[in-house]
Amino acid sequence: MRLYQIPFSHNCVKARHVLDLKGIVYEAVNINPALRGDVKRVSGQELVPVLVDGEVTVSGSTPILLYLEQHHPDPPLLPDDSRQRAECVVLMDWADGTFMARVRRLAYFRGVSTPSRLGELFFPAMPPPARAVAGRIAARILRWRFGISAERNRSDEEAVRAAARTAVDRLAGAAHLVGDRLSLADVTLAAMTAPLQYAGVVVREDPYVQTLLAWGSRVLGDDFSPLEARAALPV
């Protein structure tokens, strides 16, 4: 098995965490965000994560999680009860749709303000002068690709703070979203919201965001802060 990933991508954290929970042996193929040729070659598209399992190729974090649950059911990460199982899948979709794009923009908004940091993140193997130039170019590309602006950032901040309150209310102090054991819904919500730790101070100091991040840290463990633990990316 091979997982094509960007190590600090929250979508890739989601897939990688489930692979590890299930004790599956796999090879992580790290992709530079600016160089997607290998991903396109194996999957016909440029987004990560992509899982290659023999002759089977699965693109996208949620399809990967459901594929793994089907073919590697131990330990089970979907409830046995059909109603709870359906609820789990609905919550996965809600977490993806509500947080994925907004949280990524919030994290990148801070990054584009410090291009030198982007250079270190995207091009760690480059010599420092070249890395600084590459970081400035990456900042311009990110602003264009994701529509990053101060106005949109304010809108995203408001939306994720409201969504964080919804998530915390849904948990209601429980350890898990559905039932009494860890599920794919927990992993999805934790992975989709973990990058809020890199958002601006208004978001990071929101009490509901702080509660959600503390919960997510317990769910993901060492995978909670992928920027600090990432593997080096190829140039």
Say what the pLDDT of residue 235 is.
Answer: 45
Buried b or exposed e, range 135-170, using 16+ CB within 10 angstroms: beebbeebeeeeebeeeebeebbeebbebbbebbee
Domain range list for the chain: 2-71, 82-229
Strand partners, 58: 51
In whole angstroms, give the CA distance from residue 89 to residue 86. Answer: 5
**3-state secondary structure at position 64:** helix
Say what the pLDDT of residue 116 is.
Answer: 74
Q: The domain at 82-229 falls in which architecture? A: Up-down Bundle (1.20)
In whole angstroms, give the CA distance from residue 192 to residue 205. Answer: 18
Say what the pLDDT of residue 228 is.
Answer: 60
Say what the pLDDT of residue 197 is.
Answer: 94
In whole angstroms, give the CA distance from residue 16 to residue 4. Answer: 10
In whole angstroms, give the CA distance from residue 189 to residue 177. Answer: 9
pTM of the entire predicted model:
0.89
Quick one: 235 exposed, middle or buried, by C-beta within 10 A (0-12, 13-18, 19+)?
middle
Please tell me the CATH superfamily of domain 2-71, with its number.
Answer: Glutaredoxin (3.40.30.10)
Strands 27-30 and 2-5: parallel
**3-state secondary structure at position 218:** helix
Say what the pLDDT of residue 140 is.
Answer: 82
pLDDT in tens, the chain (235 residues): 999 999 889 999 999 999 999 999 999 999 887 778 899 999 999 999 999 999 999 999 999 999 999 999 999 999 999 999 999 999 999 999 999 999 999 988 887 777 777 777 777 777 888 878 877 887 788 888 778 899 999 999 999 999 999 999 999 999 999 999 999 999 999 999 999 999 999 999 999 999 999 999 999 999 998 776 444 555 4
In whole angstroms, give the CA distance from residue 30 to residue 181. Answer: 31
Residue 73, preceding bond cis, omega within 30 degrees? no
